[in-house]
C-alpha cells in the first residue's frame, strides 16, 4: 500500500516546527556511519537502487506469512542480495542500514557466510588455503556458516567437546560428537541453507589434546544439497523470533575430512601428525573481536527503529479529550515523554559510542598490520571494551524496545507495528556472542588487572584535548566527574573485599570472585558508561551547526540525568557522592528537558534516515497513516482468505445439530 503522498497533518506540523536542520543532521550521522561523505552518498545511491531491484519484505505481507513461507522468501531475497552485491562490485551495501531497507529486521540468511565464514578462511587459513578457498568460493555456489555453540557450551571455547582426531595413516581428521552435550546447536543457516561450515573442535593427536581449532567441513552436496554421510543435521524448531532463519543442530558421527581442512595459519599438523604452533595466535582472537565489536552498531540500529516507530505514532495518536473536547496528541503527556525520550537519547548515545568503538578497532587494525602485530595489551583492552559495550547496549535496547511497545498501546502488540520483532531481536542479542552478565564479568576482570598494575583503564581519544577546551565539555564536566568518582569508589570497594576474602579469610580465589561478582558487574557498567559519555562528548563537539549541536547536547544531558537517577542512584547515594536533594534536583532538571526535546523529537528520528522498508511498521511509517495501514494488514491476514473457516463444518455445525436434536428430546 502506497500512502506516502498524503502525510498525516499532525506529523507534518511536527516537522515544520522543528529547529533541527534535518538534511545537515542526516549528513552528519551518515558521514560517521559510512566513514566519509563519499561513502555515505554512494551507500544511499545503492540503497535506492537496491529497493527498486529487490522488493522489500514490507511490501510482501511478510508478517502475515507462515514460517516456511517466510523462510522461502528470505532465502530468495538473500540470493538476490548476493547477486546484487556481485553485479555492482560493492561491499558497503552490506551495511546493516542498507540490508535493512530490503529485509527490515529479518536477517539475510547468509549473514555468517559474509562475516565469520569468509573472515576465518582469509585470516585463519595459511596463504595457500586462503587462495584455494577464495577460488573455490568464486567457482561454486558455496554458502558457509560458523559452527561453535554446542548443547552444553557456548562462548566458553575451552569447554567445547566436539573432537577432531587425527589419523596419521590416512592423513585425515575424524570429526565426532562423542557426547549429547557436544552436539552443535544454534548455528545460523546450518539447519537447511548452508553447505559448508567452519567447525570449532578439539584437536586430538595420539591421545593428546591440543586445544580448539577451526576446520572447514562440507555439510551438504553441491549437486543435490543432500546431507553429507556422517552428519545428522536439522533445524532446531520454533524460537522466540528469527522465524525465517534456520538455526540448526549438527551431530557428527566419525566424519572423515582431509588434513588440509584444518585452517593452519596459527598451528599446523604435518602428514606424520607433528603439531606445531606458529604465527601470532592473538590474531585469531582479534578476528573474532571484529564480530563482537560491530554488535553495538546493531543495537543502535534496533533502538533507532523502535524510537522512530514510537515517536511518530505518539504524534499521530490522540487520546482523552480536554475541556474543549479536543483529544491531545499522546506525545504531549509527560508520562509518555518520560518513556519515549530517554529511549531516543539512548539511541543516539548508543550510536555514537558504537561508532567510536568501531573507529578504535579500525585504528588498531590498521596500526597492527591487520592485527598481525597486535599487542596483548591492545587485545585485552578491545576485548574488555567490546564485551562491556555489547552488554550495556543490548540491555538498554531490550528495555527501551519494550517501553516503546508499551507507549504504542494495544496497536503496538500487532505484528504489523514492527516492535515485537525488535524485542525478539534484542532479547536474543542479550545472549548470542556472549551472555550480557558474563561479558560484564570479563570486562571487570580486565579492570581488576589494571587496578593491580596501577594503570588507568580509561581510553584517551584522539583530539580529545580540543574537546576538553570547549564549552560543551564545560557543560558536562561535573557529570563526568561524578561517574569517575563512582568508578573509583566501587573499584576500591571490590578490590578491598577481594583482598580480605583471599588473604585474610583464606577463601579460594574463584570463590572470592563469585562472592564479589555482583559488585564486579557494577564497576564494569560504570566503566562503559564513562566510555559512552566521552564518545558522545566527542560526537556532539564535532557537530558544528549550532541548532543541531544544541539538540544533541539536550539529548546527552537527558541521557546522563536518566542514568544517574534511574540506573545508578543507589550507588551514588551509598558512596556519598550525591545527596538525596541533589538527586531530586536532577530529577526535576530531567523533567524540564522533556518539553524542550519534544519540539525536535520527530526531526531527531527522521535524522536516522530510515526508509519505511527498514521499519516494516504500520505505526511508524513516514506518512503517519497508521490506521489505514493497520486495517490493510488485517485484511491481508491469511486467516481471512476463507469467509467460512473449516472449523464451522468440522465442529460448530455438528455441535449445532446435536444441540438441536437434544432440544427435541
Q: pLDDT (tens digit, 9 = 90+) per residue, 91-109?
A: 654 455 677 889 998 888 8
Q: Is residue 322 part of a domain?
A: no
Spatial distance between the Cα atoms of 397 and 295, rounded to a whole number of angstroms: 12
pLDDT digits (tens, 9 = 90+) for 225-280: 999 999 999 999 999 888 999 999 999 999 999 999 999 998 999 999 999 998 77
pLDDT digits (tens, 9 = 90+) for 601-652: 999 999 999 999 999 999 999 999 999 999 999 999 999 999 999 999 999 9
Dihedral, CA of residue 23, residue 25, residue 31 and residue 34, to nearest 10? -90
Question: Does 224 lie in the same domain as 98?
Answer: no
Cell numbers at residue 412, please?
503496538
Structural domain harbouring 105: 21-109
Pairing of β 196-205 and β 144-147: parallel
Q: Is residue 275 part of a domain?
A: yes
- Transcribe 340-367 into DSSP letters: HHHHHHHHHHHHHHHHHHHHHHHHHHHH
CATH code at position 508: 1.20.140.10
Cell numbers at residue 541, please?
563537539
Question: Does 222 lie in the same domain as 83?
Answer: no
Q: What's the maximum distance between 2 C-alpha atoms anywhere in the chain?
A: 95
Pairing of β 196-205 and β 163-167: parallel
pLDDT for 291: 76
Question: Does 95 lie in the same domain as 49?
Answer: yes
- DSSP secondary-structure letter at 640? G
Alpha carbon separation from 617 to 272, 299, 560, 572 (Å, rounded): 60, 18, 30, 40
Question: Does 169 lie in the same domain as 269?
Answer: yes
Spatial distance between the Cα atoms of 433 and 421, rounded to a whole number of angstroms: 19
Question: Does 597 lie in the same domain as 459?
Answer: yes
Is the distance from CB of 266 to CB of 124 less than 8 angstroms? Answer: yes
Spatial distance between the Cα atoms of 424 and 239, rounded to a whole number of angstroms: 9
For the chain, report the end-to-end CA distance as a whole number of angstroms: 55
**Residue 234 marked as a ligand binder:** no
* Phi, psi angle pair for 251, to nearest 5°: -115, 115
- Which among 297, 309, 496 is positioned nearest to 408, based on CA atoms? 309
CATH code at position 222: 2.40.110.10
Question: Does 153 lie in the same domain as 82?
Answer: no
Question: Does 93 lie in the same domain as 223?
Answer: no
Question: Does 83 lie in the same domain as 171?
Answer: no
pLDDT for 92: 53
Spatial distance between the Cα atoms of 166 and 178, rounded to a whole number of angstroms: 15
Q: The pTM is what? A: 0.93
Residue bearing cell 574537546: 467
**597-603: average pLDDT:** 98
Spatial distance between the Cα atoms of 178 and 252, rounded to a whole number of angstroms: 8
pLDDT for 643: 94
Q: Is residue 461 part of a domain?
A: yes
Q: Work out the percent of the chain whose per-residue pLDDT is above 70.
A: 98
Q: Domain boundary residue among 56, 83, 109?
A: 109
- DSSP secondary-structure letter at 109? T
Q: Is residue 443 part of a domain?
A: no
Cell numbers at residue 652, please?
460448530
- Rounded to a whole number of angstroms, the CA Rg of the chain reads 27
Select which of 14, 150, 425, 433 is catalytic: 433
Q: Is residue 326 part of a domain?
A: no
Establish how many alpha carbons lie within 13 A of residue 654's alpha carbon, considering only the half-sphere containing its beta carbon.
Answer: 5
Res. 155 pLDDT band, cuts 50 70 90:
confident
Is the distance from CB of 354 to CB of 29 less than 8 angstroms? Answer: no
Cα angle value 145/149/151 (rounded, 5°): 130
Total of domains in the chain: 3
Q: Is residue 47 part of a domain?
A: yes
pLDDT for 465: 84
Question: Does 599 lie in the same domain as 456?
Answer: yes
Spatial distance between the Cα atoms of 275 and 70, rounded to a whole number of angstroms: 46
Res. 433 pLDDT band, cuts 50 70 90:
confident
The rounded mean pLDDT for the chain is: 93
**Residue 149 marked as a ligand binder:** yes
The b-or-e profile of 362-388 (16+ CB within 10 A means b, else e) is eebbeebeebeebeeebbbbbbbbbbb
For 3, the enclosing helix (H) or strand (E) is: none
Res. 495 pLDDT band, cuts 50 70 90:
very high
Three-state DSSP class for residue 376:
helix
Res. 2 pLDDT band, cuts 50 70 90:
very low
pLDDT digits (tens, 9 = 90+) for 348-397: 999 999 999 999 998 888 888 878 788 888 899 999 999 999 999 999 99
Q: Is residue 39 part of a domain?
A: yes
For 589, the enclosing helix (H) or strand (E) is: helix 580-598
Q: Is residue 175 part of a domain?
A: yes
433 is catalytic: yes
pLDDT for 96: 54
Spatial distance between the Cα atoms of 514 and 545, rounded to a whole number of angstroms: 49
The b-or-e profile of 192-220 (16+ CB within 10 A means b, else e) is ebbbbbbbbbbbbbeeeeeebbbbbbbbb
Spatial distance between the Cα atoms of 74 and 78, rounded to a whole number of angstroms: 6
- Transcribe 591-628 into DSSP letters: HHHHHHHHTTHHHHHHTT---HHHHT-SSS-TT--HHH
Is the distance from CB of 35 to CB of 43 less than 8 angstroms? Answer: no
Spatial distance between the Cα atoms of 154 and 127, rounded to a whole number of angstroms: 29
Cell numbers at residue 540, please?
556532539
Question: Does 198 lie in the same domain as 105?
Answer: no
Question: Does 493 lie in the same domain as 553?
Answer: yes
Q: Domain boundary residue among 246, 279, 312?
A: 279
Q: Is 144 exposed, middle or buried (0-12, 13-18, 19+ CB in 10 A)?
A: buried
Pairing of β 196-205 and β 208-218: antiparallel
Cell numbers at residue 343, please?
529511549
Q: Domain boundary residue among 228, 259, 279?
A: 279
Spatial distance between the Cα atoms of 410 and 417, rounded to a whole number of angstroms: 10
pLDDT digits (tens, 9 = 90+) for 475-487: 999 999 999 999 9
CB within 8 Å of 240: residues ≥ 6 apart: 424, 427, 428
Is the distance from CB of 7 to CB of 602 less than 8 angstroms? Answer: no
Question: Does 462 lie in the same domain as 590?
Answer: yes
Amino acid at each position: 500500500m502506497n500512502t506516502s503522498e498524503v502525510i498525516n497533518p499532525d506529523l507534518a506540523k511536527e516537522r515544520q516546527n522543528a529547529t533541527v536542520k534535518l538534511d545537515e543532521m542526516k549528513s552528519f550521522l551518515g558521514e560517521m556511519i559510512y566513514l566519509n561523505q563519499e561513502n555515505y552518498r554512494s551507500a544511499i545511491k545503492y540503497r535506492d537502487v537496491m529497493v527498486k531491484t529487490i522488493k522489500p519484505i514490507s511490501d510482501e505481507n511478510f508478517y502475515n506469512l507462515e514460517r516456511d513461507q517466510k523462510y522461502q522468501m528470505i532465502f530468495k531475497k538473500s540470493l538476490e542480495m548476493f547477486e546484487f552485491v556481485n553485479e555492482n562490485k560493492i561491499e558497503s551495501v552490506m551495511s546493516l542500514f542498507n540490508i535493512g531497507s530490503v529485509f527490515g529486521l529479518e536477517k539475510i540468511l547468509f549473514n555468517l557466510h559474509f562475516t565469520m565464514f569468509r573472515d576465518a578462511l582469509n585470516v585463519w587459513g595459511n596463504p595457500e588455503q586462503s587462495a584455494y578457498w577464495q577460488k573455490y568460493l568464486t567457482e561454486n555456489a558455496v554458502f558457509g556458516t560458523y559452527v561453535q555453540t554446542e548443547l552444553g557450551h557456548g562462548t566458553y571455547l575451552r569447554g567445547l567437546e566436539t573432537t577432531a582426531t587425527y589419523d596419521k595413516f590416512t592423513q585425515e581428521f575424524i570429526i565426532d560428537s562423542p557426547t549429547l552435550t557436544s552436539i552443535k546447536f544454534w548455528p545460523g543457516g546450518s539447519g537447511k541453507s548452508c553447505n559448508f561450515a567452519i567447525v570449532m573442535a578439539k584437536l586430538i593427536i595420539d591421545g593428546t589434546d591440543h586445544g580448539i581449532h577451526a576446520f572447514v567441513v562440507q555439510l551438504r552436496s553441491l549437486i543435490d544439497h543432500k546431507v553429507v554421510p556422517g552428519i545428522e543435521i536439522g533445524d532446531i524448531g520454533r524460537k522466540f523470533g528469527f522465524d525465517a532463519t534456520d538455526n540448526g543442530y549438527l551431530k557428527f558421527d566419525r566424519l572423515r575430512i582431509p588434513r588440509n581442512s584444518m585452517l593452519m595459519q596459527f598451528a599446523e599438523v604435518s602428514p606424520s601428525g607433528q603439531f606445531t604452533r606458529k604465527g601470532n595466535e592473538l590474531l585469531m582472537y582479534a578476528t573474532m573481536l571484529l564480530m563482537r565489536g560491530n554488535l553495538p552498531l546493531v543495537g543502535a540500529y534496533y533502538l533507532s527503529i523502535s524510537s522512530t516507530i514510537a515517536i511518530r505514532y505518539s504524534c499521530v495518536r490522540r487520546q482523552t479529550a480536554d475541556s474543549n473536547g479536543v483529544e491531545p496528541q499522546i506525545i504531549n503527556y509527560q508520562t509518555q515523554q518520560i518513556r519515549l525520550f530517554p529511549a531516543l537519547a539512548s539511541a543516539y548515545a548508543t550510536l555514537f559510542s558504537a561508532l567510536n568503538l568501531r573507529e578504535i578497532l579500525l585504528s588498531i587494525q590498521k596500526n597492527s598490520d591487520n592485527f598481525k602485530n597486535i599487542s596483548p595489551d591492545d587485545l585485552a583492552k578491545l576485548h574488555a571494551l567490546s564485551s562491556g559495550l555489547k552488554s550495556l547496549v543490548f540491555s538498554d535496547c531490550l528495555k527501551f524496545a519494550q517501553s516503546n511497545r508499551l507507549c504504542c498501546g494495544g496497536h503496538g502488540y500487532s505484528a504489523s507495528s514492527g516492535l515485537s520483532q525488535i524485542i525478539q531481536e534484542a532479547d536474543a542479542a542479550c545472549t548470542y556472542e556472549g551472555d550480557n552478565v558474563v561479558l560484564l564479568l570479563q570486562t571487570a576482570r580486565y579492570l581488576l588487572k589494571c587496578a593491580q598494575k596501577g594503570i588507568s583503564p580509561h581510553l584517551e581519544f584522539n583530539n580529545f584535548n580540543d574537546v576538553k577546551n570547549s564549552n560543551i565539555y564545560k557543560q558536562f564536566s561535573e557529570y563526568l566527574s561524578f561517574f569517575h568518582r563512582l568508578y573509583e569508589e566501587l573499584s576500591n570497594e571490590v578490590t578491598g573485599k577481594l583482598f580480605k576474602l583471599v588473604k585474610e579469610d583464606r577463601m579460594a580465589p574463584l570463590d572470592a570472585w563469585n562472592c564479589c561478582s555482583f559488585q564486579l558487574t557494577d564497576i564494569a557498567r560504570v566503566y562503559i558508561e564513562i566510555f559512552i559519555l566521552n564518545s558522545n562528548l566527542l560526537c556532539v563537539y564535532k557537530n558544528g551547526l549550532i541548532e543541531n549541536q544544541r539538540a544533541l547536547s539536550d539529548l546527552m544531558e537527558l541521557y546522563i540525568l536518566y542514568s544517574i537517577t534511574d540506573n545508578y542512584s543507589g550507588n551514588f547515594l551509598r558512596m556519598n557522592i550525591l545527596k538525596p536533594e541533589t538527586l531530586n534536583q536532577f530529577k526535576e532538571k530531567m523533567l524540564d528537558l522533556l518539553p524542550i526535546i519534544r519540539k525536535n523529537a520527530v526531526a531527531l528520528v527522521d535524522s536516522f534516515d530510515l526508509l519505511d522498508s527498514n521499519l516494516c511498521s504500520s505505526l511508524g511509517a513516514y506518512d503517519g497513516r497508521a490506521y489505514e495501514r493497520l486495517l490493510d494488514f488485517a485484511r491481508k491476514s491469511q486467516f481471512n482468505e476463507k469467509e467460512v473457516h473449516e472449523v464451522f463444518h468440522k465442529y460448530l455445525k455438528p455441535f449445532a445439530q446435536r444441540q438441536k436434536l437434544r432440544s427435541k428430546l
